[in-house]
Amino acid sequence: MFTNLVLFTLLTLPSTATIPITPKNTSGIAGEWNLLHDNLGISPMHMQLLHNDKIVMFDRTDFGPSNVTLPFNRCRYDPFDPVIQKDCTAHSILYDLQTDTYRPLSIQTDTWCSSGAVLSDGTMVQTGGFNDGDHTVRTMDPCDDETCDWVEYHGYLSERRWYSTDQILPDGRIIIIGGRQQSNYEFYPSSSPDYFIPSLNTSSFWLDFLRGGTVNEAITENNLYPFVHLLPDGNLFIFANIRSVVFDYKQNHVVKRLPPIPGDDPRNYPSSGSSVLLPLDENGPIDPEVIICGGAPRDGSRVRSFARAIPTCGRIKVTSEDPNWEIETMPIARTMGDMVILPNGEVIIINGAGSGTAGWGNARDPVTRPVIYHPDGPPNTRFSVMQSTSRPRLYNSVAILVTDGRVLVAGSNPNPFYNFTNVEFPSELSLEAFLPPYLAKEYDPLRPEILSIDVEVIEYRKPLMLMFTVLKFLKLSRVTVRIIAPSFTTHSLGMNQRMVVLKEDKNVSIVGDLFMKTYSIGVFGPSTAEIAPPGYYLLYLVHAGIPSTGLWVKVE
Ligand SMILES: *[C@@H]1O[C@H](CO)[C@@H](O)[C@H](O)[C@H]1NC(C)=O
Ligand SMILES: *[C@@H]1O[C@H](CO)[C@@H](O)[C@H](O)[C@H]1NC(C)=O
Ligand SMILES: *[C@@H]1O[C@H](CO)[C@@H](O)[C@H](O)[C@H]1NC(C)=O
Ligand SMILES: *[C@@H]1O[C@H](CO)[C@@H](O)[C@H](O)[C@H]1NC(C)=O
Ligand SMILES: *[C@@H]1O[C@H](CO)[C@@H](O)[C@H](O)[C@H]1NC(C)=O
């Protein structure tokens, strides 16, 4: 009946990123913590969100018996396991976000300090581990019933992969880089590397950069879990110790060496800083930036020296002509923090310790307050300190973003086995959620809700339209549509984590029906598979710095 009253207005929006996306007054809001489960049965040190809102979590098979029994009288037998030769408990669970329940999954070989990624069809792939699991690849197909479980391919990997890093590639394969005493990389699936690599004929390829031994390269220590980010030009950013390179894995060629991060303090494992590729914004020339925060000082990497953690972050424009590290100081020094990209493009730094380093009993002074980094804010105003939790999350803790914008936090076990008695920091079995300030009730009027999307899949460069509603539309704020690839997180590193801000379709702009409070926005699919490799992403619509809940989309 109101159709003749409907008022279609073409709202002119500022074209680029100049409007701050954070609400100005966040003084009274420092986020909120919720305890979701006191006892998950395991102490997750690896986590991955799947596109059906289930989370794969696992620890390791040589922790001793967990608190969850394997179904169907299953057991794992390993006569060579130094800790437990027969174990009828689970070390992996599948957690359902919608029902807040979980069930055990079966792993037969050791997943300790392993790596993972999700293929473009949504299949989770986990690579390597320790002992009997160091050459194993395990896959998990998402399912909505109780049938899916790990499938293991023993001896698949050509090298031992313990502490290696996985990155999904534009062609849909996974590159598996490094690991303890492995200055090389290989692919999953391994069968099809049709790249021409002169003078190499093997399924694993040298990466001298990781070999170290010379001052100019990453040295053998602190070359584990290298920070790897896929760049928009198709090359890889690889960081180990204090050095980083832009690497062409197709030609096995270092394209560029970046200056060492200032301070001579190593940043990746075991020093255990964290790193993300900052959001790639398609509404302008893409200038990829990497940020690395925290870690333990070089002489603090020694066992039980409890040196104060590194208080700085280094940020670099990787492909600029003369790249340089911009150093910023965090409000709280931190090692073993997790950096998670939030739906509004900010980055949370959560978990970790104020002194010490990775390893058993090696850290103290748990940092229980997360900090949020605002990448677009003016220098010296980019950090906000959040509420504290009561639970320490030290070595082997994890954090991931979930669909509704919460950050889930689990794990922490700085002991060689599950240990709840006579230790300073008992094994942590609980699952907590941190609610960033944008989830506060007072922002509800600004919170957009996605009503519909007009495509089944998001195709590269193709236009798409989203309908959304919001109670209080702020005409001058920027509305953006962003996609996030969920990370495989372990040891302070969110592998494959990336955000792309989709290009706005200026011809559509925002068409709003102010009366019905419904609006539509047009954007384009990502430009290339190098910017966003094919697969499942969480799509968020962000209005005035406040994100909608995430919508699962497939990019292909
Ligand atoms: C900012 O928020 C705090 C707490 O909600 C409130 O006390 C204060 O008045 C607000 N300031 C402004 C300028 O709105
Ligand atoms: C798990 O822990 C609870 C509480 O301590 C205990 O009652 C239960 O028997 C444990 N289950 C297993 C399988 O260890
Ligand atoms: C590469 O290795 C395969 C299998 O070992 C062999 O058949 C082939 O001839 C080799 N190719 C070159 C160019 O050396
Ligand atoms: C827990 O740690 C304490 C202190 O190191 C040790 O005495 C005890 O044996 C450990 N318990 C288990 C179950 O490993
Ligand atoms: C946008 O509008 C202009 C002018 O009408 C037209 O030339 C252009 O092709 C349009 N672009 C798209 C993507 O529809």
| 3-state secondary structure (DSSP) of residue 272 | coil
Ligand 1: which residue has its CA nearest to atom 14?
25
* Residue 28 CB–ligand 1 contact under 6 Å: yes
Which position has the higher pLDDT, 221 or 523? 523
CA of 441 to the centre of ligand 1 (A): 15
Q: Closest Cα to residue 102, out of 61, 155, 41, 159?
A: 41
Report which bound ligand comes closest to the CA of 64.
4
pLDDT digits (tens, 9 = 90+) for 461-507: 999 999 999 999 988 788 999 999 999 999 999 999 999 999 999 87
pLDDT at site 17: 32
pLDDT at site 202: 60
CA distances from 198 to 250, 459, 474 (A): 10, 34, 57
Q: Residue 178 carries which side chain, given as an amino acid letter?
A: G
CA of 428 to the centre of ligand 4 (A): 15
Are 498 and 532 in contact by the 8 Å Cβ rule? The answer is yes
Compute the C-alpha angle 21/227/57, nearest 5°.
85
> Mean pLDDT over residues 316-321, rounded?
96
Are 45 and 490 in contact by the 8 Å Cβ rule? The answer is yes
CA dist 439 and 433 (Å) reads 12
| 3-state secondary structure (DSSP) of residue 300 | helix
Report which bound ligand comes closest to the CA of 29.
1
Which position has the higher pLDDT, 476 or 423? 423
Pocket lined around ligand 4, Cβ cut-off 6 Å: 417, 419, 422-423
pLDDT digits (tens, 9 = 90+) for 118-171: 999 999 999 999 999 999 999 999 999 999 999 999 989 989 999 999 999 999
Q: Residue 242 carries which side chain, given as an amino acid letter?
A: I
pLDDT at site 110: 95
- The closest-lying atom of ligand 2 relative to the alpha carbon of residue 41 is 1
pLDDT digits (tens, 9 = 90+) for 186-220: 999 886 555 444 444 467 888 988 876 444 344 44
CA of 25 to the centre of ligand 1 (A): 6
CA dist 178 and 184 (Å) reads 5
Domain over 23-439 is classified CATH 3.20.20.140: no
Q: Which residue has the tokens 């959620």?
A: 433
pLDDT digits (tens, 9 = 90+) for 350-393: 999 999 999 999 999 999 999 999 999 998 899 999 999 999 99
pLDDT at site 206: 87
Are 484 and 537 in contact by the 8 Å Cβ rule? The answer is yes
**What is the band of 305 on the pLDDT scale with cuts at 50, 70, 90?**
confident
Q: Which residue has the tokens 């190499």?
A: 200
φ, ψ for residue 5, nearest 5 deg: -95, -15
Are 59 and 45 in contact by the 8 Å Cβ rule? The answer is yes
Tokens describing residue 21: 């996306």
Tokens describing residue 52: 């059906």
Ligand 4: which residue has its CA nearest to atom 11?
419
CA dist 273 and 313 (Å) reads 9
pLDDT at site 296: 94
pLDDT digits (tens, 9 = 90+) for 3-58: 332 233 333 333 333 333 344 444 447 999 999 999 999 999 999 999 999 999 99
Are 209 and 256 in contact by the 8 Å Cβ rule? The answer is no
CA dist 476 and 473 (Å) reads 9
Average pLDDT score over the chain: 90
CA dist 388 and 213 (Å) reads 42
CA dist 150 and 269 (Å) reads 27
Compute the C-alpha angle 252/254/257, nearest 5°.
165
Pocket lined around ligand 2, Cβ cut-off 6 Å: 67, 69
Q: Residue 10 carries which side chain, given as an amino acid letter?
A: L
Compute the C-alpha angle 175/176/180, nearest 5°.
160
Domain boundaries, the chain: 5-20+444-555, 23-439
DSSP annotation string for 64-103: ---SSBPSTT--EE-TT-SS-SEE-B-SEEEEETTTTEEE
Which CATH code, of 1.10.760.10, 3.40.50.720, 2.60.40.10, 3.10.20.30, is assigned to 5-20+444-555?
A: 2.60.40.10
CA dist 48 and 487 (Å) reads 6
Q: Closest Cα to residue 363, out of 284, 407, 304?
A: 304
pLDDT digits (tens, 9 = 90+) for 224-263: 999 999 999 999 999 999 999 999 999 999 999 999 999 9
Is the peptide bond between 448 and the residue preceding it cis, with omega within 30 degrees of 0? Answer: no
pLDDT digits (tens, 9 = 90+) for 48-105: 999 999 999 999 999 999 999 998 899 999 888 888 899 999 999 999 999 999 999 9
pLDDT at site 478: 87
